[in-house]
Amino acid sequence: MNYWMVKSEPGSYSWDDFVKIEEEVWDGVRNYQARNYLREMKLGELVLFYHSGKDKEVVGIAEVSEEAFPDPKDEAWTAVKLKVKKALNQPVTLAQIKSEDRLSELPMLKQSRLSVLPVGKEEFDLILKMGS
Q: What percent of the chain has pLDDT over 70?
A: 100
How far apart (Å, rounded) are the C-alpha atoms in residues 84 and 24?
A: 9
Whole-number pLDDT of residue 88: 98
List the CATH number of the domain containing 96. Answer: 3.10.590.10
Q: Which domain holds residue 29?
A: 3-130
What lies within 8 Å, CB to CB, of 51 at 6+ separation is: 7, 8, 9, 10, 14, 15, 57, 58, 59, 91
Whole-number pLDDT of residue 87: 98
Q: What pLDDT band is residue 125 in, cutting at 50, 70 and 90?
A: very high
For 118, phi then psi, to 5°, come to: -80, 155
Whole-number pLDDT of residue 24: 96
Quick check: 111 pLDDT over 90? no
For residue 28, which amino acid is it?
Answer: G
Whole-number pLDDT of residue 6: 98
Domain count, the chain: 1
46-75 confidence digits (pLDDT tens): 999 999 988 999 999 999 999 999 999 999
12-32 confidence digits (pLDDT tens): 999 999 999 999 999 999 999
Whole-number pLDDT of residue 112: 85
Mean pLDDT over the full length of the chain: 96
